Structure 1
């Protein structure tokens, strides 16, 4: 054996073993030299890495298992149970077409809520003549989950509202209207249980109802502040549901200090606000920043009269919700109004057949011709200025109460709901123009009280324009824009006499203090003629002759710009 080779081999083997041993000893020394602080930092960094991976997988799993909720919403239906002429389209809207649309969406989606934000009542004669019975039946057929109580749902009085609630197979919701005994007038909320999650829906009614509704119809009711009510209720609902929806009849305005924007800003814990009242057509949600949290909540509204159905797609996770989509679905609108994008919606035949007897009876009652209209008589922009139709309505009250010799007449713009088209005029159209069951009333006012009435009228005309009074001949007034200060007033061509008693013709809604006309109640002596305002207008038009043209457009109230 070659010794050198053996020694070399042994030497090499020994050298490898010694080097490995020294290397392990060196690593231990380095570890021992680390401070406990450094060791803790490195362990914490490792923990954070593991936690980040865990939470990433958890979030991915949560999103992967998110539940989808589709919310379909309408508002301000206002007595439009069947298709009607709109924007050149002879048959727009209507509950039978809406029923088809809702059924199609339900067939494609497992979790669907169908909601309405209030004001089912007061619109076309096929609804008005039957106290909205066809509308309630249609909502039952569609399968609405809940409807908010709107201000116009008091138009027929509390007895009729109670009958409608009894007929409905859905709850009317309002958490802020109480009777004189302190009990809630309506159910405050619902909890809808879906597979995998619960949805809470609560209702609110605008506190404006107390001043803009016929006082006799809301006597003994108290309308609590919407925000204060919601602040108490929402925390309770959050314990019972994964998503909380406010179904409200509050309105959208140009400030977040009122209406549904105020609610969204001031009350945390709401995932979606479905609104009505202002007839606002929102092509996309309004994202309102919640004041206390800085988070955002969407507010939606779907125009009016069932012309569109709003659709909100919401994803519901274990720790919150997010809006996945929003669109307004037109219900047989003409193309220039956004309709017919995917073809005309067929009407549900069963529902159409159920509503047909109401149409037949309506046509029998209202088909008698009154006169021939040579030129359209309109109320367009009637809440911001005097109109030819407003003048016609005011003159009809003067004529019907002529035995009492009123000095002038005043009509609220909001009481006129449609135009008079050119062609044959029937009672059906008059019912659409004046859908409210008002009578003609003459109120005696002393000169000082009349001055307060004129000040109220002037403010309505000059400020936001939404309370512009429609007046007859006999009154001439000039007011400053913004302030509403009266610059000139003549009654019967003469200056106001504070010592004289004047007579003002109006409708029973204003005479009872509606729209803030409290001076009629506080300082006036009322004489109710018991003449229905619609009949007064029909009789006045008949006596004008076989042809009707717009009256002279001389304004009774001039706003100085």
Structure 2
């Protein structure tokens, strides 16, 4: 006997693409059966452009169409505060679980479980009992844009250990729903008694065995569904990868997504692109990219500044921008809230920011974490050292003041060396700035040598 788990995660801006949403739903439905458990592992309500208009509720028709059985939350599910995600929880069909998130304070304790959600549950399929626990990244209160700062997120490893000790003797299989960075994902997989970890959060696929435990992660934006088969007995779980690009389309889900986009004006054609602008992770994080230049140029145009800087962790993958491009498609490149902020910074502060943009990433080896406009930057990539910076063709002056356009995350996050008191003005939502720029200036964007590596 066996139980199959159909696993999706980090849908994010797939909700801005009717075809992708239709194929994701169609793929799950095509392999579903009475023995299957459909599971999601966070960041399925946000980020995305449509998400801003619906505060995450745009994904509820998808949840209902595939009859999701169980899920946990991710950091971006708190993008609009705690009230909207509670609405999604109450209106969606699945059982929501999370074991390491607490709210409020009480004397001598860490508060009460978030929204009163259970940390664990047991589902029955074909006379098998499968135990589940949900855990999310302890950094969530810091990295969620809003709504999570008052939450307490405890150790996911300890939560999994406790869940296994409480449920392990009464279930045939034990599964972790994990919205964690890779090292913590590996740590929970190593907990004795865990049979499989369904991962999320990191936008890189994973399929491996850790200390005898199967670990899978589908990556982002609804492009992959993992089918995990759990066997009763000593046989190890197995996983099959399903690409949604090859799956059937659920036309009802696609039509609903299309209607949602149309209702808020996101199906308007804003530009035509002859040479497709690719958005994949490798292109935009290993040096200068057309999509990065597009967003940086849009920020500088919107705020009319000397220069701009965009944290490219806020850019998202998706189908290339090609042919007739809609407002929703171009906005989905940078689908976050916050504001385009203008800061007055010295040349020395600007150099410090640019130096900080060159750093290896623990998860996927990315090196370049910023996109720029109005500047030319030269790096020694082997030494990891900034060699030179020019602003509008002139060498940067350490004591001169420059007007810098950036997003709120860079302006206020402790992750970037920016003086927090330096914000001068704000110029609207970043994703709207990118769409307005495309509408007014077109999408003739190229790699022009603004980032030079030697």
Alignment of structure 1 residues 374-523 onto 2, 5 Å: 374-380=274-280, 381-402=283-304, 406-417=305-316, 418=318, 421-446=321-346, 449-459=349-359, 464-465=365-366, 468-481=369-382, 484-513=384-413, 516-517=415-416, 519-520=417-418, 522-523=419-420
- The partner residue of 1:539 within 416, 433, 436 is 436
Partner of 1:199: 130
> What do residues 447-501 of structure 1 show as CA deviations (whole Å, max 9, x unaligned)?
55444423321326999325521111234242433x5332333345555544444
Q: Note if contact 1:147-1:172 (Cα within 8 Å) is conserved in structure 2.
A: yes
Higher helix share: 1
> What do residues 295-325 of structure 1 show as CA deviations (whole Å, max 9, x unaligned)?
x1111223443344322222224xxx53354
- The partner residue of 1:234 within 164, 174, 177 is 164
Q: Note if contact 2:16-2:48 (Cα within 8 Å) is conserved in structure 1.
A: no
Following superposition, the deviation at residue 391 of structure 1 comes to 0.9
Alignment partner of 1:310 is 2:209: no
Q: Note if contact 2:7-2:225 (Cα within 8 Å) is conserved in structure 1.
A: yes
Following superposition, the deviation at residue 247 of structure 1 comes to 0.7
Partner of 2:213: 297
Following superposition, the deviation at residue 330 of structure 1 comes to 4.0
Alignment of structure 1 residues 98-117 onto 2, 5 Å: 98-102=28-32, 105-106=33-34, 109=35, 112-117=36-41
Alignment of structure 1 residues 257-336 onto 2, 5 Å: 258-265=183-190, 267-282=191-206, 285-289=207-211, 296-317=212-233, 321-323=234-236, 325-331=238-244, 333=245
Partner of 1:49: none
Following superposition, the deviation at residue 362 of structure 1 comes to 1.9
Tell me how many residue pairs correspond in the alignment. 442
Following superposition, the deviation at residue 219 of structure 1 comes to 1.8
Higher relative contact order (CA 8 A, sep 6+): 2
Partner of 1:179: 103
Alignment partner of 1:555 is 2:449: yes
Alignment of structure 1 residues 242-253 onto 2, 5 Å: 242-252=172-182
Q: Distance in 2 between matches of 1:176 and 1:476?
A: 43
- Mark the CA change 1:275 to 1:230 in structure 2 (over 3 Å): closer, same or farther: same
Q: Distance in 1 between matches of 2:449 and 2:421?
A: 26
> What do residues 128-171 of structure 1 show as CA deviations (whole Å, max 9, x unaligned)?
53233242232134322211212222233333222212222323
Q: Note if contact 2:11-2:221 (Cα within 8 Å) is conserved in structure 1.
A: yes
TM-score normalised over the length of structure 2: 0.85
Following superposition, the deviation at residue 505 of structure 1 comes to 0.9
SS at match of 1:76: coil
Alignment of structure 1 residues 357-372 onto 2, 5 Å: 357-364=256-263, 365-372=265-272
Following superposition, the deviation at residue 92 of structure 1 comes to 6.4
Q: Distance in 2 between matches of 1:487 and 1:461?
A: 21
Q: Distance in 1 between matches of 2:358 and 2:166?
A: 45
Alignment partner of 1:163 is 2:87: yes
Following superposition, the deviation at residue 387 of structure 1 comes to 0.8
Q: Note if contact 1:460-1:469 (Cα within 8 Å) is conserved in structure 2.
A: no
> What do residues 70-120 of structure 1 show as CA deviations (whole Å, max 9, x unaligned)?
22222222253597557xxxx962325533432xx22xx3xx322112220
Following superposition, the deviation at residue 394 of structure 1 comes to 0.8
SS at match of 1:274: strand
SS at match of 2:332: helix
- Mark the CA change 1:490 to 1:313 in structure 2 (over 3 Å): closer, same or farther: same
Q: Distance in 1 between matches of 2:380 and 2:361?
A: 8
Partner of 2:72: 148
> What do residues 401-452 of structure 1 show as CA deviations (whole Å, max 9, x unaligned)?
11xxx33211122322246533223212223223222321012334554444
Q: Note if contact 1:154-1:217 (Cα within 8 Å) is conserved in structure 2.
A: yes
RMSD (Å) for aligned C-alpha atoms? 3.2
Unaligned runs of 5+ in 1: 1-66, 253-257, 290-295, 334-338
Following superposition, the deviation at residue 192 of structure 1 comes to 2.2
Partner of 2:60: 136
SS at match of 1:441: strand
Larger Rg: 1
Q: Distance in 2 between matches of 1:390 and 1:472?
A: 9
SS at match of 2:236: strand
Unaligned runs of 5+ in 2: none
SS at match of 1:202: strand
Q: Distance in 1 between matches of 2:61 and 2:260?
A: 16
Q: Note if contact 2:343-2:422 (Cα within 8 Å) is conserved in structure 1.
A: yes
